[in-house]
Amino acid sequence: MTTQLDRPPVIAPGYNYRSVAEKISAIVLGGVPRHWYFGFAVSFLGFMLFLFAVSVLLVQGVGVWGVDIPVAWGFAIVNFVWWVGIGHAGTLISAILLLLRQTWRTSINRFAEAMTLFAVACAATYPVLHLGRPYFAYWLAPYPNTMGLWPQFRSPLVWDFFAITTYGTISLLFWYIGLIPDMATLRDRAKRKLAQVIFGFLSMGWRGSAKHWRRYEQTYYLMAAIATPLVVSVHTVVSFDFAVAIVPGWHSTIFPPYFVAGAIFSGFAMVLTLAIPLRFFYGLKDFITMRHLQNMALVMLVAGMIVGYGYMMEAFTAWYSGNLYEMYVQSNRALGPYAPFYWLMLTCNVLIPQLIWFRPIRNSTIALWVISLIVNVGMWLERFVIVVTSLHRDFVPSAWGYYAPTVWDIATFVGTIGLFFMLLFLFIRFLPVISIFEMRELLTRPDVKEQRA
Amino acid sequence: MPQIFHRSTNTFSRVSIFGAVFIAASLLGVAGLIVRSPYLTNVGVPISQPVPFSHQHHVRDDGIDCRYCHTSVETSSFAGIPSTQICMNCHSQIWTNAPLLQPVRDSWATGKPLEWNRVNDLPDFVYFNHSAHVTKGIGCVSCHGRIDQMQLTAKAESLQMEWCVNCHMKPEDFVRPKEFVFSMDWQPTESQATLGPRLVQVYQIQSKISCSTCHR
Amino acid sequence: MRKDEFNPELHNRLVTAESTQHSALSTQHSYWRSLDELADTPEFREWLHREFPRGAAVWEESQSVSRRQFLKLMGASMMLAGLSACNFGPPNEKIVPYVRQPEDLVLGKPLYYTSAFSLSGYATGLLVESHTGRPIKVEGNPDHPSSLGATDAFAQASVLSLYDPDRSQTVVHNQSRSDWDSFVREFRAALDPIRGRQGAGLRILAETVNSPTLAEQLQTVLTQMPSAKWHQYEPINRDNVRAGATLAFGQDVETVYHLDKADVILALDADFLSCGGGTLRYAREFATRRDPQNMNRLYAAEPTLTLTGAKADHRFMVRASEIESFARTVARVLSVDVGGVQNFALTKRMNGLIRDLQAHRGSSLVMAGDYQPPVVHALAHAMNDALGNVGSTLEYREPIHASAVDQMQSLRDLVADIDANKVELLIILGGNPAYSAPADLGFADRLSKVANRVHLSLYSDETSAVCNWHVNAAHYLEAWSDARGHDGTTTILQPLIAPLYGGKSAHELLALITSAAEQSAHDIVRAFWQKKNGPSSGSTTLSTGFDAFWRKALNDGVIANSSARPKSVTLNRDVFKQAQTQTPVSNPPSLEIVFRPDPTLYDGQFANNAWLQELPKPLTKITWDNVALIAPALAQRMNLDNNDVVELKYQNRTVRAPVWLMPGQADNTVVVQLGYGRTRAGKVGDERGYNAYLIRNSNAPWFDVGVEMRKVGDDYALATTQRHQTIEGRNVMRAGTLKEFRANQNFVREMDEHHGGEIIYPEYKYDGYKWGMAINMSACVGCNACVVACQAENNIPVVGKSEVLRDRKMHWLRVDAYYKGTPDEPEAHFQPVPCMHCETAPCEVVCPVAATTHSSEGLNEMTYNRCIGTRYCSNNCPYKVRRFNFFQYTDYETPVLKLLNNPDVTVRSRGVMEKCTYCVQRINRARITAEREGRRIREGEVVTACQAACPTEAIIFGDLNDANSRVVKLKASPLNYAMLAELNTRPRTTYLAELRNLNPEIKDE
């Protein structure tokens, strides 16, 4: 396959089982580089900011945020959707690409999954925190209570509750199962007793017997099969929060696919944002090769164009519907008080990614990294545009209003970013960021062999 | 390389993995029971009062009608707690110097009201109307239990929402002839299954389960 | 409604009982109170610090008022202590029964007492709802001619003033706490020498006196001490009306209008729909004639848009100073001899108006506004005379005010006497002259020249500050008195509660002068009426003699045939021959300043009433501030925009005010509202807006040319509740003309977007009641009474300016004001918007916890205690009628304010959604009563708070299953439409489109 040949390999030449294992496990078992401490410290500060912002919120009430009537949802929901979207790439890479036998997924799936978990963790805080009375959030769960009441199952928020919890659980299990063999490797390589005990405990007595491997494969592929529909379902359900409402600019059938595409878009952007520094700082260029980066860039390009199509269709259907309110929302987005956000969104999500068409850009890690950052910003803006511009001028002109975030909105958002990176740094420090055994397995695969020959 | 874990660990881990599910489930179940237990609902727990008033004595032994003291039970949301005056109507004649009644006499003399401790307390976002229930054939006993057998007054029912809704959904299971509303020991002469629906018809009781029936 | 006689002795007991009573009655909500307690314990604070140092720090640093501290603790306590809605453990409540229970009191049931609310000398009859001795709500007294069952926003808000913690609570002597007894002692001491001098040096400054008893007391003082003087001053008075009548008839008369009889009405700067005596009745009469079958036509000539102008079919934008010329011109054509005057340009529109008036002799009406000079009033009298309207659309009666005088002159005299050191003891009965007197009189500064200055008032205000004695007054709901309505009908005011802060009434103060022994207001008032009605039969039976009269008077709320006697007057036709009294149009016209009472604070006496402060001004929707209104054209010329601060210079006095662009305002006119810029109003009212009295001049109290306006450059944030006053081509607010309607009955319905009307859920069958509401926009005059009534009935909190600025107002019912047409000829429309109670409510399906649901009677219910605050329902409400407690808005800290709460409505906590409930507590009360009596609820038995207050019966509520109910009849009208019907929400609240009755002759112009 010539096309294969002229593309960079999924793993650099000159590696054998031992060297792969050593290189990766060294990150965990070896000494801690200075830049890790620096990065962790910074993100930890962010986390502290998060705690502070949340304390203020809980003590003073949701009024400390910028939300009002008519714009009763603000940053909280914007950030929620943004984080959930980011989560998607992980599941997509690890589950779908696994089932599709994509060799290039191997070295990135592990931390992509981790990223998913942490993103979902960040996302999950918002639906609770944005409540007027967060301490009653458990009323969303159906359980036999003394009030003799159930949740209201017609409400998308209840579906959301299930979607997110399922997604979180599955992602966690999938990630953990993938980790078991590597835990065993680390257990065996660990020198200190404590490390041995911990990794030993986590590896659940993995001995690497044929039986273990068979069971493992079954489970792992089964989990992949279960996780695959989630990639689509979760963000579809999230989109229902908007699509089911009658608010002009929300009430649209295009939302589910449009949201899923957006999620993958932002997800891959975030993976790139993380992968590029990671391979740089930990010298993983040989494992996370240009091949990976380029593939992800291409996925990003495609997803980005689907999202662009989404924007087009929104505008078109608004015009085609002839519905006064829909048409107004569209024109208000483009020309109203929040127009800058709209145009910036289009630039970030539709224009900039087009650069990926060009090979030089694809070959430049810096360029890809910058683009990925821009896309992340763009996707955040998209959610802002959807939530705020739709709400602030809906049906009855007398009720029109504005939305402006407060310092606590921003602090909470920055805080969750801190939380996200703190978890990520802990993960890099204490778990193998790349699946050791899968990389080894990779060495044996004919197509890869042929490439490296 | 020596083994890190003892062999038994395998068993432990297997048990704990499978056990986890059942443990979690049973914990939830227990929680459910505790929430409904007298420990939290106070059902049957007598509350101490400034005067150890005995409903048993006044209702069963003396045969005083509920409405003699709870004057507005048929006309108002609030059943009415007897004023000192009502106590003194009798106790200026009998037991005039029983030490137990000293607080009552003090109140009468000083004009300072007695302070009773609430027994049946609904959250304040719940609007209960005594007259609506009493005039529709719901007996005192249905909610307050055999008050005539209580030395010290105690809560008879949990008063939790599911308990209220239970009756609001199926009033026919609890309705009784109006003339027996204040009777403590009334027993249906025919089966409630036939009596209930008939009374619901006669009294035109709609099962009101809209939220605003109780929450405004 | 039951009406009972007030029994003072009983109520004193009720009040004393009250403090301990409410737990048993759950007038307050102990669940919250327990949190309150928790949050207030030192342990908790300490623990909060330990657990939550940063949070605690934030709470302490936060600049917000003390009320706010609780909301933070509230959140903290709930969150950290992890409390939940169900209160476990033994109840922490006490039940505190009466020692002796009052006979006519059934706990849990309200009682209603008659009383009356007076403003600027005109009373409105009331029924006051009392729960165990706490007056919490007023309704209009249907038997009172000035009320007919309706109330205005001021009366509705007066209950809040009653409980206002900022009210003065003691007698103050030289700014230090004192008491009534020592006051009495020193007062008598100061009085004795004066008494010896026949009262020389004694001055009494009262507001307009409409209490017969008080009037007689004052007369007694004057007879006892002939040299004493009784002055009257009130910033908003009827000097012009009185002088106008005197000019026309040589004597003062009280003009009573019958708008229901008028086919054509010309209002010369007369805002009869928003204030003045009898406004409620006039609004009702006006509204009855807005129905298409028999529609009247209203012309208004005014300098700035008023509620009357907004309802007018044709509006003439005339500067205040040119109204006279306008009137003269019209009058001349109506063959009134107005002497030689230079004419106002007689336009085609005016010809149309004049011909319309001529065409309706005997059924037309010309009204002159209180702000217009006497000659305009005289002209109005002359025109009505020429049109033969006297006796049909208006009648003249004996003046109802005791010895009415020119108040401005009266104040000038007082000032002169003070300067001449003739005043030794000055008694100021109510009012706040130090604040409200025209600046040129320098009243406040002069006061200090008087040796003894006594001020009786509700608040220790600006005047109290410059008096050496301040006596805390009793609120009108706390004291006995009497008052006369616009037609003279007299009501006896009975107290609903013993004075909360031991206040005294003017009667009791004056009694100190007239009699040796102290007298209670009750005895004074009763004695007065006894004397008037001859001695009591003495028999103890209540059926005969004075006791019967007294009981009946209290029960009815009006004294039978006490209205002023009709008066026949003869018009002096020569008065107009004299030349124009007013400055002719200067060319180029110089800038004109116009003073107006504030629409919600009136003359400033309500400055500390948070309900009225936060009540949106009817036309601008601004809250918490007053502005300087200017025409858009002028704004353009001076490059001004909303919120720009300008400096107004008039007679060498200046104030700074934010401007607001007002469509329909005469060019070169700046309108300023009185009532703001208070400095000693209280926590709520201090330092808000600017004080227009500072540039008011006693020679031109209402308007004058020659004001300079200059842009300062600063920007001032104004909190408006409606940022957008145009309709954006949407058909949510529909209106048309009578002509259109006659041409096509269904023109309103045809505005509907097509919609299928199918729903996926099965249709629900309402076999019991089916509540619905119809709002007639032709009748609605935008007076805001409904908004305050709703607030009072439903324990709706006030959020403050900063929160209004952040779009967090809490009013369940809002009155939208929309403008159409050009800035010069704006068409203004009012649309009250409560919850629509949609059949297929979008809010219900999206709530994850079923906190908002549909009742078996079709109400869209909001269950606060189930709400977790996702606010999804509000997003999905196309009408945006839902309100959210972003903070702990309800004040749990001020005990006295707890007494104000309606015990039948849950007090909401932080973090829950709330909205209009169709006053479900009233529905439930009626239903339970009906069920007890084994019958259906009768038509008119359930009246929502907004409906009850509405002077024009624009809001009608009732059972849609009852074919004879008024609401069903209204909804059958072809004018009836549902807002946003195309969304298939099927609102239970529908609207009747507004019709205007245009004069074809003018419209075709």
pLDDT in tens, C700-744: 999 998 899 999 989 999 999 999 888 888 889 999 999 999 999
Provide the pLDDT for residue C587.
Answer: 59
Residue C3 makes CB contacts below 8 A (sequence gap 6+) with C112, C113, C114, C127, C555, C556, C557
Neighbours of chain B (3+ CB pairs under 8 A): A, C
Give the whole-angstrom CA distance, residue C224 versus residue A179: 105
Provide the pLDDT for residue C548.
Answer: 87
Residues of B in contact with A149 (CB under 8 A): 161
Residues of chain A with pLDDT under 50: 1-5, 453
Asked if C20 lies within 8 A of B131 by C-beta distance, the reply is no
Q: Which of B111, B124, B130 is nearest to C107 (CA)?
A: B130
B9 touches A: beta carbon within 8 Å: yes
Give the whole-angstrom CA distance, residue A149 versus residue A147: 5
For tokens 């579809």, the residue is A236
Find which of B110, B122, B164, B212 to mutate to test the C interface (most C CBs within 10 Å of its CB). Answer: B212
Residues of B in contact with C23 (CB under 8 A): 118
Asked if C934 lies within 8 A of B204 by C-beta distance, the reply is yes
C84 touches A: beta carbon within 8 Å: yes
B37 touches A: beta carbon within 8 Å: no
| Cα separations in angstroms, C1 against A293, A360, C141 | 80, 86, 10
The confidence band for C341, taking pLDDT boundaries of 50, 70 and 90, is: low
Provide the pLDDT for residue A290.
Answer: 87
Asked if B35 lies within 8 A of A146 by C-beta distance, the reply is yes
Tens of pLDDT, residue by residue over B144-166, are 999 999 989 999 999 999 999 99
Asked if C928 lies within 8 A of B131 by C-beta distance, the reply is yes
> Burial, C805: exposed, middle or buried (Cβ in 10 Å; 0-12, 13-18, 19+)?
middle
Q: How far does B84 lie from chain C, in Å, by closest CA?
A: 5
Residues of A in contact with B161 (CB under 8 A): 146-149
Residues of A in contact with C732 (CB under 8 A): 395-397
Provide the pLDDT for residue C21.
Answer: 31
Asked if A148 lies within 8 A of B165 by C-beta distance, the reply is yes
pTM for this model (two decimals):
0.90
Give the whole-angstrom CA distance, residue A49 versus residue A417: 10
Asked if C94 lies within 8 A of B118 by C-beta distance, the reply is yes
Chain A interface, Cβ < 8 Å to B: 143-149, 187-188, 193, 196-197, 200-201, 204-205
Provide the pLDDT for residue C28.
Answer: 31
Tens of pLDDT, residue by residue over C361-401, are 999 999 999 999 999 999 999 999 999 999 999 999 999 98
The interaxial angle of helices A106-129 and A290-321, nearest 10 deg, is: 40
Asked if A67 lies within 8 A of C886 by C-beta distance, the reply is yes
With b for 16 or more beta-carbon neighbours within 10 A and e for fewer, the C749-761 pattern comes to: eeeeeeeeeeeee
Do residues C74 and C93 touch, judged by C-beta distance below 8 A? Answer: no
Provide the pLDDT for residue C75.
Answer: 37
Radius of gyration of chain B (CA): 25
Asked if A70 lies within 8 A of C880 by C-beta distance, the reply is yes
User: How much is the average pLDDT of C740-751?
Assistant: 90
Provide the pLDDT for residue B208.
Answer: 84
Q: How many angstroms separate the first and last alpha carbons of chain B?
A: 72
Give the whole-angstrom CA distance, residue C163 versus residue C700: 37
CB pairs under 8 A between B and C: 151
Q: How far does B28 lie from chain A, in Å, by closest CA?
A: 9
Question: Could you say which DSSP state residue C563 is in?
Answer: S
Asked if A148 lies within 8 A of B161 by C-beta distance, the reply is yes
Q: How far does B95 lie from chain C, in Å, by closest CA?
A: 19
Tens of pLDDT, residue by residue over C973-994, are 999 999 998 888 999 999 999 9
Provide the pLDDT for residue C261.
Answer: 93
Tens of pLDDT, residue by residue over C96-150, are 888 888 777 788 888 899 999 999 999 999 999 998 888 999 999 999 999 999 9
Provide the pLDDT for residue C90.
Answer: 58
Among chain C residues, CA nearest to A387: C875
Give the whole-angstrom CA distance, residue C247 versus residue C376: 10
Phi and psi, residue C797, nearest 5°: -75, 165
Asked if A61 lies within 8 A of C910 by C-beta distance, the reply is yes
Q: Which of A420, A429, A444, A363 is nearest to A186 (CA)?
A: A429
Give the whole-angstrom CA distance, residue C491 versus residue C123: 8
Give the whole-angstrom CA distance, residue C988 versus residue C860: 9
Give the whole-angstrom CA distance, residue C20 versus residue C23: 7
CA angle C83, C86, C90 (to 5 degrees): 95
Q: How far does C828 lie from chain A, in Å, by closest CA?
A: 14
pLDDT at C2 over 90: no
pLDDT at C37 over 80: no
pLDDT at C970 over 70: yes
Q: Which residue has the higher pLDDT, C65 or A116?
A: A116
Q: Six-digit token pair at C711?
A: 């842009």
Asked if B215 lies within 8 A of C866 by C-beta distance, the reply is yes
From the CB of residue C193, how many other CB atoms can be counted at a distance below 10 Å? 12
Asked if A146 lies within 8 A of B10 by C-beta distance, the reply is no
pLDDT at C47 over 50: no
pLDDT at C77 over 70: no
Provide the pLDDT for residue C56.
Answer: 36
Query: Whole-number mean pLDDT of chain C?
Result: 86
Tens of pLDDT, residue by residue over C232-255, are 999 999 999 999 999 899 999 999
Of the candidates B1, B10, B162, the beta carbon closest to that of A148 is on B162
The interaxial angle of helices C348-359 and C323-333, nearest 10 deg, is: 50
Asked if C928 lies within 8 A of B129 by C-beta distance, the reply is yes
Give the whole-angstrom CA distance, residue C741 versus residue C793: 37
For tokens 């944002």, the residue is A273
Asked if A68 lies within 8 A of C86 by C-beta distance, the reply is no
Residue A71 makes CB contacts below 8 A (sequence gap 6+) with A387, A388, A391, A392, A401, A402, A403, C807
Give the whole-angstrom CA distance, residue C898 versus residue C896: 5
Residues of A in contact with C908 (CB under 8 A): none
Provide the pLDDT for residue C1001.
Answer: 86
Provide the pLDDT for residue C576.
Answer: 75
Tens of pLDDT, residue by residue over C919-942, are 999 999 999 999 999 899 999 999
Asked if B4 lies within 8 A of A197 by C-beta distance, the reply is yes
CA angle C722, C725, C729 (to 5 degrees): 130
- 3-class SS at C524? helix
Residues of C in contact with A401 (CB under 8 A): 723, 807
A328 touches C: beta carbon within 8 Å: yes
Asked if B124 lies within 8 A of C904 by C-beta distance, the reply is no
Give the whole-angstrom CA distance, residue B208 versus residue B196: 16
Of the candidates C71, C730, C870, the beta carbon closest to that of A324 is on C730
ipTM of the complex model: 0.92
Residues of A in contact with B32 (CB under 8 A): 144
The interaxial angle of helices A106-129 and A156-189, nearest 10 deg, is: 140
